[in-house]
Amino acid sequence: MRYCLPILMILALFLQGCQQDQTDSAVESHPLGKVIESLPASFAGTLPCADCPGIEHQLNLMDDRWYLLRREYMERDEVDYQLGRWSISTNQQLQLHSEQDLLRFRAIDAATLTLQDPDGRDIDSLLSYQLTRKQQFEQLDAELELRGNYRFMAGAGLFTECITGQRWPVKLEDDHTPLQRAYMEMRAHPAQQLLVTLNATLTQTADANNTNPQLALKLNEVHGIWPGETCGQQGKTAVLENTYWKLTRLDNTPIIPEQSNQEAHIILDRAERRMSGSDGCNRLMGAYVLNDQQLRFRQVASTMMACPSGMETAQAIHLALEQVRGWRITGQHLQLYDNTGRMIARFEAIEDQIANG
């Protein structure tokens, strides 16, 4: 009898090893495994459109888990691009994550992807929702609205995109680009990274011998530089209530805390339906009413201490809170809107403050 336990343990380990081998084999033999083992790859096809003859798609899947999607609406002269990260779900779906939405695809075979509905099911239709792999990878020149960290150092600009984490050099058309000038004015020290929003064309470049092609950004327009804001933690989405929200923008004005003042922020207490925080000078307090995407603040008040600076910003915060009618969270950023849908304030979730609270 004393040999039974070791024999049973050996048998259990043997069965566990067999099961693991079967699992690994299933993953490797899955059509999606065949798709991603030879990236980058381009997939193309014309998908149905509700108010046009069709939408021509090209999906570029990159081997370091990011993608670029081009959609052209036939007979509407409209093209858009979507940038994001891809992942594989536990049920072997290809998921495309962007700031706008989540797209799901099922791999029919190594050369065919089919779009699924928002719940991850095949679309019940006689129309085709399939994208087919091209024989050769085709790089796209894409005009994109981008958000990321920028720095200018040693005569070169480098942009790190927030969603994908990709780093691309910024092509300098001359020595005094708008982005470079604005960055030099707002940085606190050399090599500091600042969050910027801009419109740029992602394009392929090559060295003098036309070899080793790389991606780079050609700047089209600078929308803003936001010294008090970061990309946030990749892949995390904050919740509205019981979160410490640091104010980063009022309208299109960046908010930088005064060294002598508190950090402007709000916290919405779910249990009490009370708002607390700071306007950067005095403590804030009040109530709020939440109904789906509608949000209103009521009875907003503050303490009455005088501050050496920042009083104008504090007054602007009070005015903004009175105008709030709607909200939206993207990742770890909260945007508040007035009754016309105009963004009037933007906040960022601060994880350590959430934990301490």
pLDDT tens, position by position, for the chain (357 residues)?
444 444 544 444 445 555 444 444 444 568 899 898 889 999 999 999 988 999 999 999 999 999 999 999 998 889 999 999 999 998 899 999 998 889 999 999 999 999 999 999 999 999 999 999 999 999 999 999 999 999 998 888 999 999 999 999 998 775 457 888 889 888 888 889 999 999 999 998 765 555 567 899 999 999 999 998 999 888 788 999 999 999 999 998 998 866 556 789 999 999 999 999 999 889 999 999 999 999 999 999 998 887 777 788 889 999 999 999 999 999 899 999 999 999 999 999 997 665 444
**Does residue 238 belong to any structural domain of this protein?**
no
Residues 170, 179 contacting (CB under 8 angstroms): yes
Separation in Å, CA 170 to CA 129, 184, 215, 227, 241? 36, 15, 10, 19, 38
- Domain count for the chain, please give it: 3
The residue among 109, 133, 157 that closes a domain is 133
Please, is 20 exposed, middle or buried when counting C-beta atoms within 10 Å of its C-beta (0-12, 13-18, 19+)? exposed
In the listed set 199, 226, 253, which residue is the last one of a domain according to the structure?
226
pTM greater than 0.85 (yes/no): no
Cβ neighbours of residue 23 under 8 Å, at least 6 residues apart?
none
Q: Which of 226, 259, 276 is the last residue of a domain?
A: 226
147 and 127 together in one domain: no
Q: Is residue 195 part of a domain?
A: yes
Structure tokens at 269: 């207490």
CATH at 61: 2.40.128.640
- 103 in a structural domain: yes
pLDDT score recorded for residue 91:
86
Domain span at residue 162 reads 142-226
Tokens 């707002």: give the residue.
186
